[in-house]
Amino acid sequence: MQVSTATSIDSKDILGLRDDLARWLIGRGVDQWQPGELPRGAIEDEVTQGFVHVVRRQEELVATVTITWADPLIWPDQTEPAGYIHRLMVNRRWTGREIGLSLLTWAEMHIRQSGRTLARLDCVRSNRRLRDYYEACGYHLVGYQDFPDIPWANEAALYEKSHLAPGG
């Protein structure tokens, strides 16, 4: 699996993948994302900053992950250096090949190579299947974050994995 830093050309495909996955989740009764809720400019800003990484096979976007060094909305007042994993997404045509797990492992390695030993991520509290997946990958629930002033935001389950090392 070859992971590369996304370029501005990738922004449209990344947003399209997110909207496709949002529709797929909704079709299964999972209230994680809504199609069209994330503006393309938000993706483009993260791409410009070098936070977004992609896996492509020829011209097709297979998977993507965003890694930031702060997340004040979801993780306010954090002082420990950490990497924040967002939008780990795999094109549905490529599921069943452990690409998500490989990309999550790559993200942890990327965080470790930055000198940090703590990875954080979040998901909607009610998404039990995704929460089980993160827990099986060694992430520990550290709490919940509610967003009463943001109408479109769901309550988030917050996860951490510390002491990142080769092999996880």
Mean pLDDT by 10 residues, the chain (168 residues): 94 95 92 87 94 95 97 89 96 95 97 96 91 96 83 81 68
- The CATH number assigned to the domain holding 114 equals 3.40.630.30
Assess if residue 38 is contained within a domain.
yes
On the CB side of 35, how many CA atoms lie within 13 Å of its CA? Answer: 11
Assess if residue 164 is contained within a domain.
no
Assess if residue 70 is contained within a domain.
yes
pLDDT of residue 30: 86
Assess if residue 159 is contained within a domain.
no
Q: What is the CA radius of gyration of the chain?
A: 15
Q: Angle CA(12)–CA(13)–CA(16) in degrees, nearest 5? A: 90
**Which tokens sit at 6?**
């996304």
pLDDT of residue 168: 47
Assess if residue 141 is contained within a domain.
no
Looking at the structure of the chain, the number of domains it has is 1
Its domain, for residue 74, covers 3-120
Assess if residue 134 is contained within a domain.
no
- Predicted model pTM: 0.92
Assess if residue 167 is contained within a domain.
no
Sequence-separated (6 or more) residues with CB below 8 Å from residue 86: 65, 66, 67, 68, 71, 121
